[in-house]
């Protein structure tokens, strides 16, 4: 596991990450994969996104892609481009690309992709993609600030409970 990069983490980030983790539990409890994300605009407006892979039968229905669609529909692009995205789990390559194209400048996540892969591979044959979001963002023409993983209660537990079928 790589060392966490939490430079730039501020106290206000923690409640937003906890909100994203709560949404992961909501997604899990409705039958979707346990991922949740929020976008926080500079004025405090919050847009939520939940995974909908199972309920919508859409393999692209990840929390972050759903969030990018919702935020882009609800907010002017300049506001989206000045916001922070918080997510329960590090964005996959597809989600990182959507975040990049939406010009979201800052991403903060709880559970790291490497830890998620460990959990999923131990418990299921669900496909995984070992491509950290920082690598995806690094290939772009502008900087995306990435902060995480941030160790928070529940971030790993929601996945352990989902992939093993053992719910607390």
CA 9 to each of CA 4, 17, 52, 108, 140: distance values in angstroms, whole numbers, following the listed order: 11, 11, 29, 8, 23
SS3 at position 101: helix
Q: Which two tokens stand for residue 131?
A: 């491509």
Beta-carbon contacts of residue 123 (< 8 Å; ≥ 6 apart): 160, 163, 164
Q: In what order do the strands lie in the sheet with 46-50?
A: 46-50, 36-40, 84-89, 106-111, 145-147
Catalytic positions, written as ranges = 64
| H/E element, 154 | none
């Amino acid at each position: 596991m790589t060392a966490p990069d939490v430079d730039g983490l501020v106290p206000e980030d923690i409640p937003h990450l906890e909100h994203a983790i709560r949404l992961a539990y909501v997604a899990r409890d409705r039958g979707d994969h346990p991922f949740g994300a929020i976008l926080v605009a500079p004025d405090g407006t919050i847009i939520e996104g939940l995974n909908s892979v199972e309920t919508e039968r859409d393999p692209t229905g990840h929390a972050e892609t759903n969030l990018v669609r919702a935020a882009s529909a609800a907010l002017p692009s300049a506001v989206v481009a000045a916001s922070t995205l918080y997510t329960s789990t590090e964005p996959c390559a597809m989600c990182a690309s959507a975040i990049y194209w939406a010009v979201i400048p800052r991403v903060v996540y709880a559970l790291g992709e490497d830890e998620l892969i460990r959990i999923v591979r131990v418990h299921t044959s669900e496909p995984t993609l070992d491509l950290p979001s920082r690598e995806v963002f690094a290939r772009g023409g502008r900087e995306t600030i990435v902060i995480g993983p941030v160790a928070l209660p529940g971030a790993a537990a929601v996945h352990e409970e989902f992939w093993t079928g053992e719910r607390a």
